[in-house]
Amino acid sequence: MKRIHVWSALIVVLALVLAACGTSATTTTAASTETTATTTATTAASGTTAAMMTPVEVTIGFTTSTTGKYNTESTRQVNGLQLWMNDVNNAGGIHLSDGSVITFKAVSYDDESTKDRVQELYTKLATSDNADFLISPYSSGLTAAAAVVAEQYGKVMITTGAADDATYEQGYTGVYQVYTPASKYLTSSIDLLHSLDMGATKIAFVYENSTFSTGVATAAQAYAEANGYDVVLFEGYDAGTTDFSAIINKVQASNPDAILGGGHFADGEALAKQLYEKQVPVKFVSLLVAPPEPLFSEIGDAAKGIAGPSQWEPQVKFTEEGAMANGSAWIGPTGDDFVSEYNAAYGEDPSYHAAGGYAAGLLLQYAIQQADSIDPDAIKAALDATNLTTFYGNLTFDTSADKHGLQIGHQMVVVQWTNDLTKEIVWPEAAATGTPIYPLGS
């Protein structure tokens, strides 16, 4: 019997010793895909003649929520980014005037949709992995944490999948937003409702208590009230809620014409499903994040007629001609090309999360071209001056001190699921591809 005590103790002591030896002062563990990344672009480039082509590999660091509650959205976002990286590398990289040829390499980790991991991992990316540029994780909450780290280590971070306005009011100088800000998410849905039914006056807001959705709901509430709507319910639910019965009962009792809100994919989907199961008599529902994802159709009948704001849809058409017409630059593939490439690579239609990922890459590519270097300060200056159109839409940044990096050029559309379970753009009218279903259930 004593033997087992000795063995157990030995195992424990051995484990402690091994662990202590493995402290991450320098560890490059038997990890996923990263090999050592070297980026000495500017120093390598200086002194070479224009005729010499020096290959330079630029490291882009980011985390993905391969697991956890954001995995649906984050996977698509990273797919988009990865597609861009393959495209630009296969096209031969970016040629700078000093002869360097920039190609890109990704270093990424799984953040498990949790903030503490994001903090640790982005610090690792910024320090021991020597990432030159950072791309944000998915979701405003995680991006806020990553932005702190990016700013602390002076790295330029392009955020995608993160709409919350608050991140750009903290005084950061190197964080740039690709998505339309949260404050604009539901305002277009209210406009749509107004155009469909002037008699609909009561709106219920039911939203997830995250920075993003709270920002959306608060702005939308102000907009609704300013336009004469009666906000009959304005209530948040805790992130991670799966049982919406109590809050749905409350919504039903407040007798709204429309329900606006939601949060991210998992809860939005559950909310839509449970609204359907409880047969809540409402005329219009617009939810965040979930409806624009093609995967939303998995809830079947519950998806029909549900609307949602989207950063981009395959049907929108931005072109190089259009860009020239309104005086902005153009880069990247057309929307159709993007859709077919994405389909070929991943076997499904891209959602706006994927488009946002690709657009983030395009933005970086454009900035490097404009700055003609990869020096962070030059890149920041180039980004500040950017007026760029891509298949994803226009990208222009607020450069004032108190909102630096906020996206001010990009517009959103509203999509809705039809009775055939396809997704159509229903707003703005100029971009619409289908007639809106109103009221719900018709």
Partner 1 sequence: MKRFTGLLVSLAAVVVLAVIPLITHKDSSMQSMFTILLGIALASSLNILLGYTGYVSFGHIVYFGIGGYVGFYTMAQLGQSLWIALLAGAAAAAVFSFLLGSAILRLRGAYFALATIGVNEAMKALVSNFDPFGGPIGMTLKVSFYKDYGGFSNIGWMSYRLLIVVTLAVVITSYLVKKSKFGLGLMAIREDEDAAEVMGVRAPSAKTWAYVLSAVFPALVGVLFFFKNSNIEPGDAFRLQLSIEMIVMVMLGGLGTVIGPILGAGAYQALRSTLLTVDKVKDVQLAVAGVLLLLIILFIPTGAIGWVRRRFPRLRRVLE
Partner 2 sequence: MSFGELLGASLLDGLLIGFVYGVAAMGLTLIFGVMDVINLAHGPLIAIGMFFLYGLFTHFGMNPYLAIILVAFAGLLVGIIVYFAAVHRVINAPPLSSLLSTFSVNMIIIGVGTALLSTSAYNVDFKLSSLTIGSNITITGTRLMAAVVAIIVTALLYGFLYRTRAGKYIRAVSNNRQAAELMGIPSTRILALAFGIGTMLAMTAGALIATILPINILAGGTYELKSFVIVVLGGLGNPLGALAGGLVLGLIEGLVPVFMEATWVPVIEFGLFVLILLLMPNGLFGKKRGS
Interface with partner 1 by CB under 8 A: which residues? 4-5, 8-9, 11-13, 15-16, 18-20, 22-27, 29-32, 109-110, 115-117, 119-121, 123-124, 126-128, 141, 144-145, 148, 151-154, 166, 169-172, 209-211, 214, 236, 238-239
Please choose which of partner 1, partner 2, none residue 255 contacts, taking the beta carbon within 5 to 8 angstroms, the exact cut-off set by kind.
partner 2
Closer Cβ to partner 2, 265 or 438, answer by number:
265
Cβ–Cβ under 8 Å, residues 274 and 215: no
Please choose which of partner 1, partner 2, none residue 247 contacts, taking the beta carbon within 5 to 8 angstroms, the exact cut-off set by kind.
partner 2
Under the criterion CB under 8 A, does residue 337 sit at the interface with partner 2?
A: no
Please report how close the Cβ of residue 201 comes to partner 2 at its closest, in angstroms: 17
Cβ–Cβ under 8 Å, residues 195 and 430: no
Closer Cβ to partner 2, 188 or 252, answer by number:
252
Please choose which of partner 1, partner 2, none residue 24 contacts, taking the beta carbon within 5 to 8 angstroms, the exact cut-off set by kind.
partner 1
Closer Cβ to partner 2, 65 or 136, answer by number:
65
Under the criterion CB under 8 A, does residue 93 sit at the interface with partner 2?
A: no
Closest Cα partner for 108 from 89, 140, 85, 90? Answer: 85
Please choose which of partner 2, partner 1, none residue 170 contacts, taking the beta carbon within 5 to 8 angstroms, the exact cut-off set by kind.
partner 1
Under the criterion CB under 8 A, does residue 298 sit at the interface with partner 2?
A: yes
CB-based burial, 51-85: b 16+ in 10 Å, e otherwise: eeebebbbbbbbbbbbeebbbbbbbbbbbbbbbbb
Contacting residue, 270, 345, 408, 421, with partner 2 by CB under 8 A: 270
Closer Cβ to partner 2, 197 or 235, answer by number:
235
**In angstroms, what CA-CA distances link 313 with 191, 206, 265, 323?**
19, 25, 17, 18
Please report how close the Cβ of residue 244 comes to partner 2 at its closest, in angstroms: 9
Cβ–Cβ under 8 Å, residues 61 and 129: yes
Contacting residue, 274, 311, 390, 407, with partner 2 by CB under 8 A: 274
The C-alpha R_g of the chain, in whole angstroms, comes to 24
**In angstroms, what CA-CA distances link 51 with 96, 97, 355?**
12, 10, 36
Closer Cβ to partner 1, 26 or 442, answer by number:
26
Dihedral angle sign, alpha carbons of residues 112, 117, 123, 127: negative
Please report how close the Cβ of residue 117 comes to partner 2 at its closest, in angstroms: 11
DSSP output for 96-161: PTTSEEEEEEEEEEE-TT-HHHHHHHHHHHHTTT--SEEE--SSHHHHHHHHHHHHHTT-EEEE-S
Under the criterion CB under 8 A, does residue 295 sit at the interface with partner 2?
A: no
Please report how close the Cβ of residue 214 comes to partner 1 at its closest, in angstroms: 6
Q: Restricting to residues 107-126, name those near partner 2 by CB under 8 A.
A: 112-113
Cβ–Cβ under 8 Å, residues 105 and 59: yes
Please report how close the Cβ of residue 29 comes to partner 1 at its closest, in angstroms: 5
Contacting residue, 32, 43, 279, 326, with partner 2 by CB under 8 A: 279
Name residues whose C-beta falls within 8 Å of residue 202's C-beta, 6 or more positions apart in sequence: 229, 230, 231, 232, 254, 255, 256, 257, 258
CB count in 10 Å sphere of residue 14: 10
Q: Restricting to residues 14-73, name those near partner 2 by CB under 8 A.
A: 66-69, 71-72
Q: Restricting to residues 229-268, name those near partner 2 by CB under 8 A.
A: 235-238, 240, 242-243, 245-247, 249-250, 252-253, 255, 266
Please choose which of partner 2, partner 1, none residue 203 contacts, taking the beta carbon within 5 to 8 angstroms, the exact cut-off set by kind.
none
Name residues whose C-beta falls within 8 Å of residue 20's C-beta, 6 or more positions apart in sequence: none
Question: What distance in Å separates the CA atoms of residue 408 and residue 427, rounded to the nearest whole number?
Answer: 19
Closest Cα partner for 366 from 408, 402, 323, 399? Answer: 323
Please choose which of partner 1, partner 2, none residue 154 contacts, taking the beta carbon within 5 to 8 angstroms, the exact cut-off set by kind.
partner 1
Please report how close the Cβ of residue 269 comes to partner 2 at its closest, in angstroms: 8
DSSP output for 372-426: TS--HHHHHHHHHT-EEEETTEEEEB--SGGGTT-B-S---EEEEE-TTS-EEEE
Under the criterion CB under 8 A, does residue 278 sit at the interface with partner 2?
A: yes
Q: Which residues bind partner 2 (CB under 8 A)?
A: 66-69, 71-72, 112-113, 209, 235-238, 240, 242-243, 245-247, 249-250, 252-253, 255, 266, 270, 274, 277-280, 298
